[in-house]
Amino acid sequence: MAGKILIVDDEQEVLSMLRRYFLLDGYEVITATGGQEALQKLAGMPDIILLDINMPDIDGLSLCKSIRDFVSCPILFLTANIEDSDKIKGFSVGGDDYIVKPFSIDELGARVSAHLRREKRGKHKSKVFFDNAFAIDYAERAVYFNGEEIPLLKKEFDIIEVLSQNPGQVFDKERLYEAAWGIDGLGNNSVIAEHIRKIRAKFAAAHAKQYIETVWGVGYKWQK
C-alpha cells in the first residue's frame, strides 16, 4: 500500500482523473468535492492531502488553516492560476507544497511520493532487535547476528524486509512477490523459493535462527 490520499476538488473531472491515476499507483484514494465534505473525510486519517484552492464553499487556504492544528500530514495545494499563487504568497506557508495547474500528472505523483517518503523516513527507527542476538537495520540494509553482519544480496534483503516488518503475517507468494518486487504478476513460483533458500543457507552458515517459516500450501512468514 503506497498510502492513503485525500483529494479535494470541486471539479468532478479533475477528481476522477486524479483518483484513477493514484489508484493505479497503488494508493487508497478518498475524495471530497468541497471543504465541508473534506472535513468529514478527514476521519479517514489520510497520509497526504491534495487541496484545490478555488472551491465554492470553503476555499482551500482557509480549510488548510483550520485543520492544521490537528492534521499533521503533508498538504499540497493545487492552484488553478497565477493569481492564486499570489494569494498564497500573501497568505504564505500554510501548506507543504504548491503545484500550479496545468501540471504534469507525473510531476504531481513524484511530489506526492517525495513528501510521503520524507514523512516515513522521519518516523521510522532503523535498527530493530528481534532477539538478543538478531537485529535488522533497515537504513543500512543489513542483518546482524551476534554483532556480525550476515551479507545479503538485494532481493534477499527485500524479502526479509517485507516479512520482518510484518512478523507473524503470512504472505502468499503473489503478495510477497508484489511487495518485494514492486510489481504483480508472478510467473515462476521458484523465483521466491530460490531466494528463500539462499537466505536460509546464509542464516544457517551464521548459526542464526531461521526466522522465515514455510506455511505449507500458502506461503511464508516471519516468526515472531
Q: How far are the Cα atoms of 2, 39, 115, 133, 137 from residue 140, in angstroms, in the given order? A: 22, 40, 21, 17, 5
- The site string for its own copies over 149-168 (x = CB under 8 A, - otherwise) reads ----xxx------------x
Query: 160 by DSSP, 3-state: which?
Result: helix
Q: Which of 171, 195, 206, 211 binds DNA (CB under 7 A)?
A: 195
28 or 85: CB nearest its own copies: 85
User: C-alpha cell of 191?
Assistant: 523465483
Contact partner, 39, from its own copies, DNA, none, Cβ < 5-8 Å per class: none
Residue 163, class by beta-carbon neighbours within 10 Å (0-12 exposed, 13-18 middle, 19+ buried)? buried
* 147 secondary structure, DSSP code: T
Size, binding site for its own copies by CB under 8 A: 55
- C-alpha 75/C-alpha 28 separation (Å) is 16
Contact partner, 188, from DNA, its own copies, none, Cβ < 5-8 Å per class: DNA
Size, binding site for DNA by CB under 7 A: 25
Q: Which of 43, 106, 187, 205 binds DNA (CB under 7 A)?
A: 187
User: C-alpha cell of 108?
Assistant: 504531481
Q: Does 195 bind its own copies (CB under 8 A)?
A: no
Q: Does 141 bind DNA (CB under 7 A)?
A: no
Which secondary-structure segment (H or E) carries 29?
strand 27-32
CB 58 within 8 A of CB 9: no
16 or 40: CB nearest its own copies: 16
Q: Does 156 bind DNA (CB under 7 A)?
A: yes
**Contact footprint for DNA (CB under 7 A):** 153-156, 173, 181, 187-191, 193-197, 200-201, 214-220
